[in-house]
């Protein structure tokens, strides 16, 4: 029988992922094990998944426990979506860097926020991986937790259990590009590769026609289009390719858009387009609203529609269990897949999935200027991951010194002071580094 464990089941992803799994045609039963250290949110997740099971008419068993070792044994797939200490630290990770002029929009992947989220998350994840090795060593790990590249990189370095990091940026961005270019999505062709949150659509066409000249003309003739996705479309003008993550996220991963207020005013408008403090101000609200929506769905005062999402987890599960080939975009160890990126890093490429598992496809070479932007982020991830593995405070400090946004704003002395303030503020949430 099929067994799937979801660790961090209180996450907003659980609803979509469980729905997708339970809507797999021909997969009539099995076990879904839910794990979360928050008893209240775990119970909400358990009741929600049970309701989806009932609505689909299938015969899945649903287990739930705050102790993962009680329920994950024998899993074929383990889905990771943990959040470690985020509510308690989100203000520190925004407000302390702000004192130094580092104005983050999201701060969960790179930058001061991304670094300290890495330091918070990886020690807990290492413990979870050791339990997975002991209790379900033949499984596949599907990671949704950010920082995606850092979590997937760490996993690939500490275990032989296969891991793939899953995001929704390729699916969402490709659909946006079809809309921007005014072509039917199912008729558009593309080739994308890079790293998570910085994959590049190096080819984009419709009926054999290159769509980049079309997009370039549209942002000249239609100013409202540029305002709709300001950082990514502006960057496309100069870099020659569109990137996979939202304008707000992307503005933090390169040194060009957030280093002074006039640039933020020009390019970074509201919300996910780059508003300063957007994540810190809203994430606690989003968590509460998600829980409230689940309660409403359980009580029947809000609809719970049975429909599949565009997430990749269930696509992988179906392809493996049925041996029916599918193509997804996954974050996997590079090992030469993208020739001009670090071979021991993690890259995001197209992957064939079938009964043999996730099989990444060779990409080749990125245009060198795009590869260089990716390499700057990969160096940050490498140092952050190794700082945790080696318990090395200076290595973590050096990671922040390499961060593109922080380096664009601060001196080395200022970065060192900022790191010390954050490290002191987050005692109890981050490991003691030597």
Size of the chain in residues = 434
d(CA 334, CA 323): 24
Q: pLDDT of 397-422, one tens digit each?
A: 999 999 999 999 999 999 999 999 99
Would you say residue 372 has pLDDT above 90? yes
d(CA 95, CA 99): 7
Q: Is 167 annotated as a binding residue?
A: yes
410 to each of 168, 396, 419, how far by Cα in Å?
A: 32, 16, 12
pLDDT of residue 269: 80
Residues 112, 403: contact at Cβ < 8 Å? yes
Which region, left, alpha or beta, applies to residue 416 given φ > 0 means left and ψ of -120 to 50 means alpha? alpha
Model confidence at 17, pLDDT cuts 50, 70, 90, reads very high
User: Mean pLDDT across the stretch 160-169?
Assistant: 97
Q: Is 310 annotated as a binding residue?
A: no
pLDDT of residue 6: 98
SS (H, E, C) the chain: CCEEEEECCCCCHHHHHHHHHHCCCCCCCCEEEEECCCHHHHHHHHHHHHHHHHHHCCCCEEEEECCHHHCCCCCCEEEECCCCCHHHHHHHHHHHHHHCCCCCCCCCCCHHHHHHHHHHHHHHHHHHHHHHHHHCCCCEEEECCCCHHHHHHHHHHHCCCCEEECCCHHHHHHHHHHHHHCCCHHHEEEEEEEECCEEEEEEEEECCEECHHHHHHHHHHCHHHHHHCHHHHHHHHHHCCEECCCHHHHHHHCCCCCCCHHHHHHHCCCHHHCCCCHHHHHHHHHHHHHHHHHHHHHHCCCCCCCCCCCCCHHHHHHHHHHCCCEEEEEEEECCCCECCCCCCCEEEEEEEEECCEEEECCCECCCHHHHHHHHHHHHHHHHHHHHHHHCCHHHHHHHHHHCHHHHHHCCHHHHHHHHHHHHHHCECCECCCC
Residues 6 or more apart whose CB falls under 8 angstroms from that of 247 comprise 229, 230, 231, 232, 267, 268, 272, 273, 274
d(CA 145, CA 151): 7
Q: pLDDT of 38-71, one tens digit each?
A: 999 999 999 999 999 999 999 999 999 999 999 9
Mean pLDDT of the chain: 97
Model confidence at 171, pLDDT cuts 50, 70, 90, reads very high
d(CA 158, CA 150): 12
Strand 77-80, strand 3-7: pairing: parallel
Q: Is 139 annotated as a binding residue?
A: no
Q: pLDDT of 63-112, one tens digit each?
A: 999 999 999 999 999 999 999 998 999 999 999 999 999 999 999 999 99
Would you say residue 360 has pLDDT above 90? yes
Residue among 47, 9, 13 at smallest CA distance from 286: 13
pLDDT of residue 226: 93
Domains, the chain, ordered by start: 3-88+111-165 (3.40.50.720)
- Whether the bond between 339 and the residue before it is cis, its omega within 30 degrees of 0, is no
d(CA 348, CA 257): 24
The neighbouring-strand residues paired with 165 are 143, 331
pTM comes to 0.97
Examine the residue annotation and report whether 168 is marked as an active-site residue of this protein.
yes
pLDDT of residue 12: 86
User: Mean pLDDT across the stretch 146-171?
Assistant: 97
Q: pLDDT of 177-192, one tens digit each?
A: 999 999 999 999 999 9
d(CA 334, CA 157): 12
Q: Does the CA dihedral 310-316-321-322 come out positive or negative?
A: positive
Q: pLDDT of 248-290, one tens digit each?
A: 999 999 999 999 999 999 999 889 999 999 999 999 999 999 9
């Amino acid at each position: 029988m099929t067994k799937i464990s979801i660790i961090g089941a209180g996450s907003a992803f659980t609803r979509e992922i469980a729905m997708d799994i339970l809507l797999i045609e021909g997969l009539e039963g099995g076990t879904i094990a839910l794990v979360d250290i928050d008893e209240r949110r775990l119970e909400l997740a358990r009741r929600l998944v049970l309701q989806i099971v009932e609505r689909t008419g299938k015969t899945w068993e649903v287990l739930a426990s705050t102790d993962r070792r009680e329920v994950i044994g024998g899993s074929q797939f383990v889905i990771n979506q943990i959040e470690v200490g985020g509510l308690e630290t989100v203000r520190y990770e925004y407000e302390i860097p702000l004192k130094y002029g580092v104005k983050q929009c999201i701060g969960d992947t790179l930058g001061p926020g991304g670094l300290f989220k890495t330091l918070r998350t990886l020690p807990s994840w290492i413990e979870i991986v050791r339990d997975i090795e002991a209790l379900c060593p033949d499984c596949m790990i599907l990671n949704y937790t950010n920082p995606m590249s850092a979590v997937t990189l760490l996993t690939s370095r500490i275990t032989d259990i296969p891991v793939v990091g899953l995001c929704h940026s390729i699916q969402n961005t490709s659909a946006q590009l079809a809309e921007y270019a005014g072509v039917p999505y199912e008729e558009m062709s593309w080739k994308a590769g890079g790293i998570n949150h910085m994959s590049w659509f190096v080819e984009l066409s419709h009926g054999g026609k290159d769509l980049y000249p079309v997009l370039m003309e549209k942002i000249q003739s239609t100013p409202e289009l540029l305002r709709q996705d300001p950082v990514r479309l502006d960057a496309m003008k100069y870099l020659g390719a569109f990137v996979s993550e939202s304008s707000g996220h992307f503005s933090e991963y390169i040194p060009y858009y957030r280093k002074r207020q006039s640039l933020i005013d020009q390019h970074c408008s509201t919300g996910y387009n780059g508003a300063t403090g957007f994540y810190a101000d809203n994430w606690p609200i989003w968590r509460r609203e998600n829980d409230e929506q689940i309660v409403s769905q359980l009580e029947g005062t809000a609809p719970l529609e049975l429909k599949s999402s565009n997430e990749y987890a269930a696509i992988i599960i179906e392809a493996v269990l049925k041996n029916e080939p599918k193509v997804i975009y996954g974050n996997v160890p590079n090992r030469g897949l993208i020739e001009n990126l670090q071979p021991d890093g993690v890259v995001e490429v197209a992957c064939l999935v079938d009964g043999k598992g996730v099989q990444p496809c060779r990409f080749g070479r990125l245009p060198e200027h795009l590869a260089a932007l990716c390499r700057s982020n990969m160096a940050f991830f490498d140092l952050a991951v190794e700082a945790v593995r080696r318990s090395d405070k200076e290595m973590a400090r050096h990671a922040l010194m390499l961060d593109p946004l922080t380096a664009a704003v601060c001196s080395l002395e200022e970065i060192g002071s900022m790191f010390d303030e954050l490290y002191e503020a987050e005692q109890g949430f981050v490991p003691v580094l030597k």
